[in-house]
Structure 1
Amino acid sequence: MSFPWANEYKPSHPLMQWMDEKLPLPRFVYNAVGAGYPVPRNLNYAWNFGVLAGFCLALQIVTGVILAMHYAANTGVAFDSVEHIMRDVNWGWMLRYAHANGASAFFVVVYVHIFRGFFYGSYKAPREMIWLLGVVIFLLMMATAFMGYVLPWGQMSFWGAQVITGLFSAIPLVGDPLHTWLLGGFAPDNAALNRFFSLHFLLPFVIAGVVILHIWALHIPGSSNPTGVEVKQESDTVPFHPYYTAKDGFGLGVFLIGYCALLFFFPNALGHPDNYIPANPMQTPAHIVPEWYFWPFYAILRAFTQDFLFIPAKLMGVLAMFSAILVWFFLPWLDRSPVRSGHFRPTFRKFYYALIVDALVLGYCGGSPAEEPFVMISQIAAIYYFAHFLIILPIVSAIERPDPLPFSITEAVLGSDETAPAAA
């Protein structure tokens, strides 16, 4: 984002002048997160979650690299190597819990970030590419988290890998060969564990690369804001530093209080007790369930129980589960309302809150046994989920009468904007 009133980087120290001339890294940082980056003055704490997501990614990479130094990707000793980390490595228990609970914290932050985007229309022009790259990041996160869950090689790790990779066998013609190729055999074993470990180590760095593209795309149109009104003048913005670095720092402090409380007092609250039992291919757990952040999509997968014509129920469930995320790619074109912010869209707002309730219901059903009434509730909730994006959102955006928008960001914050030119 380039504005004529943006501060320009002018190093005063001779060393920084030399650095800026040879490798303009200081200027890049200054323009990206410093006083050279003007930001809308009305951002609320919902805009903290992008920075928190970046912190969680860095936390996962650092703790993951250290854990990889002590982990053995071999089915004979993988479970014991995790116990070795917990019991014998200095601070190993904290690193393991920090990594495991860091994954949950990462998904909490990203889910809030996504639903903030839903409400404030962050996917609308001119920010479509930012949104599309964000969905790519989420898909990479899902793949990375699944592979990481397999690595402890406990009961739920093994059977989770068995169930999830078995979904590929539902693909007609190529499904079974693809399933065998992915696992390196007919069931999760040493080859699969090695592959998952390699990819789990690699993908966070791929995510970091896409995050850089995500931020780069953000700096072209600039940040959105709660009103959805674009920046019109200098009074609409403040420098990112020190105003939002301080605000993000406070948000990070609050986040760390909650994260550390979970880490030190309830480290196993979000885990499954069966994963403290070594993997046993001969004993199926009573209730196979993935980690909590997969539950809404797992509920959609299990909602299909009957074949339809020549399409097996398993294949329909797999397609629906992936479509539940892929539909987000089309949001910029499904929602045609010229108004971005849900604050000025009363009809949209009601359906948005219904979507939140629907997602929570899907999550609850996904973590429950595959029996009635949870299957029926999952089916109803899945129907509403897809109807929201494919039917309700386009209709609402076409017929809704939004509330009046403020002329500028300054007017929304300070009241009447005396310096603003008269609206046409």
Structure 2
Amino acid sequence: MSFPWANHYEPKQPLMRWMDEKLPLPRLVYNAIGAGYPVPRNLNYFWNFGVLAGLALVVQIVTGIVLAMHYGANSLVAFQSVESIMRDVNGGWFLRYAHANGASMFLAVVYIHIARGLYYGSYKAPREMVWLLGVVIFLLMMATAFMGYVLPWGQMSFWGAQVITGFFSAIPLVGEPIRVLLLGGYAPDNAALNRFFSLHYLLPFVIAGVIILHIWALHIPGSSNPTGVDVKGEQDTVPFHPYYTAKDGVGVAVFFLIFAALIFFSPNLLGHPDNYIEANPLSTPAHIVPEWYFLPFYAILKSFTADFILTGKLWGVLAMFGSILLLFFLPWLDSSPVRSSNYRPTYRWFLIVLALDVLVLGYIGGAEATARNVIIGQIATAYYFAHFLIILPIVSRSERPRPLPNSITEAVLAKHGGTSPAETALAH
């Protein structure tokens, strides 16, 4: 989408003019995040989380590269190398805690970013490709986080790898060969650790590449906004800089405050104490749980206990992957012409129930597999799939949305007590 009212980059200094002619990098930056990129004037703080996700990725790449200089990707020394980083490397404790808690911050930011997309209908046309690339990024992040969790080679690292890769063996014919290929053998050992370390180091750069495509796809239609109404003209937009660079700065400050509080005051809050015990293939932990950001999907995996045509184990694997793959089809499952849930009261209530359902799945994923918890997990899993496959298509066709504003400017003026253009016209 082109914006004819956007400012165009015209360098004044001879050096910048020469640079712009030979390598138009200044122009690219100006058009991407400067005054040359107009954005809707009503974006709220939920639009900060895209920038925060990019910032979190940078933190992970920088800390990860330095940690890799000291880490030993060998099952005989991996655990000791992590302890050495913590105790002997200058600032090693900070880098390790920043990387471990940075993963949690990264996933938390992305989960809020996804929730914002669900609430404001950011997956709808013409931004389907932006959404699809975002889901690809999410899948790559989950793979990267899982492999990174294995690297400390503690008890939870080892047995998490054992359990999760073991589920691949439930796939008929190809499952066991896939598992052996992933592990480089029949159980997690030195070959698996080398594979996971290599992929964990590589995938963040792949994620960075897909993020570039994600931003590129976003700049074609332009950013969505809380009303879901398309930009009508120059009066509906403001330059990205300085308005949203300042707003993003507030978000960045809050992000680093929370991040610093985790690192300096409670660095092990989100970890598991068993992972400070070296991996022992002969000693199974009493309760194997993944990191918090995997818990809802782990609950879905555990909810299938009975064999029906296929084994319960295979149903669990299919459901776990299906719960994420559903997001790819969201632009076509929701046929409502209205984007924002601010104007879809019925859908908004169901979306709130979905959020509560995901929290319940997260709790069940980390709880012991008692009969009561299994039943709750099965009900929550059933609702999760029902929301996307049954409730969403029905509601999107049957609900009566509230009237949309004529423009973004009208919505902004009405919110702040001003006079909308429509009211002004009526007055005359």
Q: TM-score range by the shorter chain?
A: over 0.9
Distance 1:121 1:379 in 2: 28
| Equivalent residues, number | 422
- 1:180-259, aligned counterparts within 5 Å? 180-259=180-259
Cα separation, 2, equivalents of 1:181 and 1:19: 48
- How far did residue 372 of structure 1 move? 2.4
SS in 2 for 1:373: helix
Residue 255 of structure 1 deviates from its aligned partner by 1.2
SS in 1 for 2:324: helix
Q: In the alignment, is residue 88 of structure 1 matched against residue 88 of structure 2?
A: yes
Change (3 A) 1:421 1:162: farther
Aligned to 1:306: 306
The letter of the residue matching 2:154 is G
Q: State the AA in 2 paired with 1:20.
A: D
Q: What is the deviation of 1:421? A: 11
Residue 39 of structure 2: aligned partner: 39
State the 1:175 CA deviation. 1.1
Residue in 2 that maps onto 1:340: 339
Amino acid at match of 1:118: L
Amino acid at match of 2:299: A
Secondary structure in 1 aligned to 2:371?
coil
Shift of 1:399: 0.3
Q: Using the TM superposition, give the Cα deviation of residue 234 of structure 1 relative to its aligned residue in structure 2, in angstroms.
A: 0.4
Corresponding residue SS for 1:263: helix
Structure 1 residue ranges, 4+ long, deviating more than 2 angstroms after superposition = 415-423
Measure, in 1, the Cα distance between the counterparts of 2:424 and 2:192.
64
Q: Deviations over 1:285-332 (max 9, x none)?
A: 000000000000000000000001x30000000000000000000000
Seen in structure 2, the aligned counterparts of structure 1 residues 57 and 166 have a Cα distance that, compared at 3 Å, is: same
| 1:409 is aligned to 2:402 | no
| Cα distance, 1:66 vs structure 2 | 0.3
Q: Which amino acid aligns with 1:147?
A: M
Q: CA deviation at 1:401?
A: 0.2
- The amino acid across from 1:90 in the alignment is N
Which structure 1 residue ranges, 5 or more long, are not aligned?
none
Secondary structure of 2:39's counterpart equals strand
Question: Equivalent residues in 2 for 1:8-19 (5 A)?
Answer: 8-19=8-19
Alignment match, 1:370: 369
Alpha-carbon separation, structure 2, partners of 1:383 and 1:421:
51
Give the CA deviation at 1:371: 1.6
Secondary structure at 2:386 match in 1? helix
Shift of 1:374: 1.1
In structure 2, C-alpha distance between the alignment counterparts of 1:136 and 1:157, rounded to whole Å: 25
- Aligned counterpart, 2:146: 146
Q: CA deviation at 1:178?
A: 1.6
Matched, 1:351 2:350: yes
Q: CA deviation at 1:145?
A: 0.1
Q: CA deviation at 1:417?
A: 3.6
Which amino acid in structure 1 is aligned with residue 173 of structure 2?
L
**Map 1:28-107 → 2, pairs under 5 A:** 28-107=28-107
After the TM superposition, which residues 257-272 of structure 1 pair with which residues of structure 2 at under 5 Å, given as runs? 257-272=257-272
SS of structure 2 residue aligned to 1:270: coil
Secondary structure of 2:304 counterpart: coil
Change (3 A) 1:230 1:77: same
1:136 aligns to what?
A: 136
> Within 2, Cα distance between the matches of 1:404 and 1:48?
27
Is the partner of 1:403 in helix, strand or coil? Answer: coil
CA distance in 1, matches of 2:421, 2:183: 66
> Judging changes above 3 Å, is the alpha-carbon distance between structure 1 residues 419 and 13 closer, same or farther for their aligned structure 2 residues?
farther
Shift of 1:373: 1.3
Partner of 1:124 in structure 2? 124
Secondary structure of 2:70's counterpart equals coil
Unmatched segments (≥5 aa) in structure 2:
none
Separation in 2, partners of 1:87, 1:292: 26
Q: Percent identity?
A: 76
Return the offset for 1:422. Answer: 8.2
Cα distance between partner residues in 2 of 1:419 and 1:399: 29
Q: Distance in 2 between matches of 1:420 and 1:175?
A: 65
Deviation, structure 1 residue 420: 10
Secondary structure in structure 2 of the residue aligned to 1:325: helix
Name the aligned partner's letter for residue 11 of structure 2: P
Supply the distance in 1 between the matched residues of 2:131 and 2:222 (Cα, whole angstroms).
13
Residue type at the aligned position of 1:418: P
Q: Deviations over 1:224-270 (max 9, x none)?
A: 00000000010100000000000000111011111111110000000
What's the secondary structure of 2:306's corresponding residue?
coil
Q: TM-score, normalised by structure 2?
A: 0.97
